[in-house]
Structure 1
Amino acid sequence: MQVKFAQPCATLPATLVLAAIAAAALLAGPSPARAQTPVACEKIDHKAMTALVCRVDMASADLRLFLNKPSGNPFGGFGPLRRELETRGKSLVFAMNGGMYHEDLSPVGLYVEDGKRLKEANTNAGPGNFHMLPNGVFWFGEGKAGVTETKAFVKSRRKPSFATQSGPMLVIGGKLHHRFLPDSTSHKVRNGVGVRDGGRTAVFAISQRSVTFHDFATLFRDKLGCNDALFLDGSISSIYAPQAGRIDFLFPMGPIIAVVE
């Protein structure tokens, strides 16, 4: 914005000049360089896949876990969660299905919401992706997030504000899960979460098409810079990212990871 004066600036009192500059700054608004976006999404190509990747700034985002409505029944999807938040004067900014669940939509493993442990960690071996050990825990709170192998998490006695267990781990200390094969014939749409920047950034990704565990894991390690990443689910993978032009309402789900404001 250009400020025009009725006479040369040199002849104006210094206080008037300062007032005019201050007024111009207020009208111009904050500098775009200083604006912080809690969630930033983009499409990223890796190997033969394209993934929608959303990075969440843990310092500025209000990241939470949701499972049940005030009535005690599961939300079951992004739509009911969005409507409930609106009744509280809040809005849904970003969301992703957040871990495996039973037919009644209750979590299969550890689930912590607002510091309350609603389900204990599940360290049992068994069939299915969840029990493809090692599995892990995505935990967060107080501006920091982490992905930790389940037994290590239990041993740490960590008490985060939020935590959800799923499996298998995709990346563990920079190494891929030992059971992932480059030539696997198992192809599914998959979603997961990793952490970087010392836990200051949570990185969520969902494949646009069916991919192998191996390729999806290398996306987090080699493209997104995550030394630790966790598989959240496959086939029913869903995301709510209006900033990226994508809102899924296709599948019932259990735990939901969401950014609200």
Structure 2
Amino acid sequence: MKPVGFSRRMTCVEMSRIKSGVAAWLLGLLVSSPALAVECRDISFEGNDFTICEADAQTEEIRLFLNGPEGALYGHFSAIAAQLATQDARLSFAMNGGMYHDDRSPVGHYVEDRQEQMRVIPNAGPGNFGLLPNGIFCIREDRADVIETLDYVDTAPDCLHATQSGPMLVIDGELHPRFLPDSTSRYIRNGVGTDPDGRRVVFAISNDAVTFHEFGRLFREELDVANALFLDGNISRLYAPQLDRSDFGWRLGPIIGIVERN
């Protein structure tokens, strides 16, 4: 029998077993812990500050919100979060999701839960929305795509949710042809970009007032997406609880959100 207080140096084999056990325990924690539905970060690009949030459309529930179950306008991120809480779910990300009229109805095409609430507007018009080409953010069962409006009309994708806005920021890897490097029109702006496989979805909001040219370059050169769509400017807002951020202001129209189900 060893006396009380006896100690000895561990052998290399014992140390190896302990290290292997700790490594397996840590790996088990990583595997069993749920992955974040969306990853957000703050970045700087060419002297401007932005917040970027990325999601995987194959694994996350990306959707649109406009009116609640009783038909009342959501208007604020907090109203959506409160409604989801009654369904044992949570809002893990949100952003204003397209231009709207004074009554908060969508300016362009809008589909929610496969129900079309506003038709496609294919023609040019006043303001940023009518600065063609514009586009549509289409969310399907296992992918999400930014699609130029006329291509959308030609292909007629089966979207669970869709919102039209404009102008396009990036079109097949190229900046919108009307963007000017020396523009003096600066606003807080937000938008969304997608990869060709429809899996990677990147949302961005500027924390400085930026031009369309600067915002488009962010998506094309820093975020490296093939297609990107301007969602709105000036009223742009973000809900990102992982960054302790919940922007507040006037009531919004369409809102893009990511839902986590328990």
Please give the TM-score of this superposition, normalised by the length of structure 2. Answer: 0.86
| 8 Å CA contact retained: 1:38, 1:58 | no
How much is the aligned-residue C-alpha RMSD, in angstroms? 2.1
Residues 174, 26 of structure 1: CA spacing in aligned structure 2 closer, same or farther, 3 A cutoff?
closer
Residues 31, 79 of structure 1: CA spacing in aligned structure 2 closer, same or farther, 3 A cutoff?
closer
Deviates more, 1:201-210 or 1:125-134: 125-134
Q: Offset of 1:226 from its aligned partner?
A: 0.7
1:26-62 deviations in whole A, cap 9, x for unaligned? 7984336985322011112111211100001112211
Q: Match of 1:192?
A: 191
1:182-236 deviations in whole A, cap 9, x for unaligned? 1100000000000126111110000001000000000000000111000000000
Q: Match of 1:119?
A: 118
Q: Match of 2:135?
A: 136
Q: Match of 1:210?
A: 209
Q: Match of 1:85?
A: 84
Residues 251, 32 of structure 1: CA spacing in aligned structure 2 closer, same or farther, 3 A cutoff?
farther
Structure 1 residue ranges without an equivalent (≥5):
1-20
Aligned residues: 240
Q: Match of 2:65?
A: 66
Letter matched to residue 62 of structure 2: L
SS in 2 for 1:83: helix
Distance across 1 between alignment mates of 2:91 and 2:33: 23
Letter matched to residue 223 of structure 2: L
1:54-77 deviations in whole A, cap 9, x for unaligned? 001112211111110112121111
Distance across 2 between alignment mates of 1:230 and 1:78: 21
Q: Match of 1:232?
A: 231
Residues 150, 25 of structure 1: CA spacing in aligned structure 2 closer, same or farther, 3 A cutoff?
same
| 8 Å CA contact retained: 1:238, 1:251 | no
Distance across 1 between alignment mates of 2:116 and 2:97: 16
SS in 1 for 2:197: helix
Residues 152, 197 of structure 1: CA spacing in aligned structure 2 closer, same or farther, 3 A cutoff?
closer
Q: Match of 2:150?
A: 151
Structure 2 residue ranges without an equivalent (≥5):
1-19
Q: Match of 1:10?
A: none
| 8 Å CA contact retained: 1:66, 1:258 | yes
| 8 Å CA contact retained: 2:179, 2:213 | yes
Is 1:38 the counterpart of 2:41 in the alignment?
Answer: no
1:142-179 deviations in whole A, cap 9, x for unaligned? 12010111111011111111110000000001111111
Distance across 2 between alignment mates of 1:27 and 1:233: 43
Percent identity between matched residues is 50
Letter matched to residue 100 of structure 1: M
Q: Offset of 1:139 from its aligned partner?
A: 0.6
Distance across 2 between alignment mates of 1:137 and 1:121: 9
Distance across 2 between alignment mates of 1:38 and 1:57: 8
SS in 2 for 1:243: helix
Distance across 2 between alignment mates of 1:157 and 1:177: 23
Q: Offset of 1:87 from its aligned partner?
A: 1.8
Distance across 2 between alignment mates of 1:200 and 1:27: 28
